Amino acid sequence: MTVVPVALVAGGSRGLGLEIARQLHRRGHHVALCARDEAALQRAASEFKERVSIHVMDVTDREGVQRVVDEISNGYGPIEVAIHVAGIIQVGPAADVALEHFDQALGIMAKGPINMAWSVLPSMRERRRGRIGVVASVGGVVSPPHLLPYSTAKFAALGFTDGLAAELVGTGVTATSIVPGLMRTGSHDQAAFTGDAAAEHNWFSVAASAPLISADSTRAARRMVDGVLAGKPLVTVTPLAWMAYRVRGLMPGTTTRAMGIANRFLPRATGNAVPVKGSQLSVPPVVQRLTHWGRRAAARNNEV
């Protein structure tokens, strides 16, 4: 009997997580899609004819993550691959960010990978086989303005995964830090915007959609999965991410000054820390045209 390897994708209902799930499925894995929204999970799973299961899971809930991992393992076999993609994007100047925004970002993107890893590691260590991947971001290497909670959490995720990879050397289990730059997944409409929400949404959605700035998410997901399955400690997916790693390491002061200059061109703080979801904002015609590719990606990746 052919044994089907099992892959868990935390945040697999939409966007990059769904793209990664597709790549794993094409490689013959049973894909366990995990996310908080059951309806979104059902829509995502509908494109797979076989070797798929859905599991409602909040990565911030330690006991809940363990229950889902046990459910998957008991129902479909030991988890061979676990990739954490779940995330939240909050865009706005630091003066318009509340402390709870940091709590939300750290809970999902820093605590989430820890909860996932600690739930799958005992079985992987025992079998001396397993692959763990954590999707971080170029925002975890260089902290751009107006993305402070996001970058704070991504820096933490990179530190965790890098340290874990070192401690797993020789065990048969690997941990991969995944560092993409901007990608066209359609996630800008799921992001939350504070301050001048409309203006923040305009610049961010264009940056996340324009082909010359952002990368195709399907090709990016393919490289990510290749790197995780190969057991690489680090996968940088876009030229922007590759460059950020090197420039930040060689010229940290220059990098910070460059970010400061970029900040001057972004919307001013308004004192409004109430987040507004991108899909709730009206978009000017020129921005609609510039985000054409992002909206196509959103439709493909269950982001609508």
Neighbours of 86 (CB within 10 A): 25
The tokens of 77 are what? 């076999």
Three-state DSSP state, 48: coil
Closest residue by Cα to residue 90 from 12, 146, 154: 146
Closest residue by Cα to residue 95 from 155, 145, 154: 145
- Among 150, 155, 160, 204, the active-site one is 150
Within 8 A by CB and 6+ apart from 224, the residues are 20, 23, 83, 133, 135, 178, 180, 235, 237
Q: Cα–Cα distance between 8 and 3 in angstroms, integer?
A: 16
Alpha helices in 83-147 (DSSP H): 99-106, 112-127
Amino acid present at 240: L
Alpha helices in 128-196 (DSSP H): 148-167
Residue 76 annotated to the active site: no
Instruction: Identify the bridge partners of residue 30 per DSSP, sorted by sequence position.
Output: 6
Active-site residue numbers?
Answer: 150
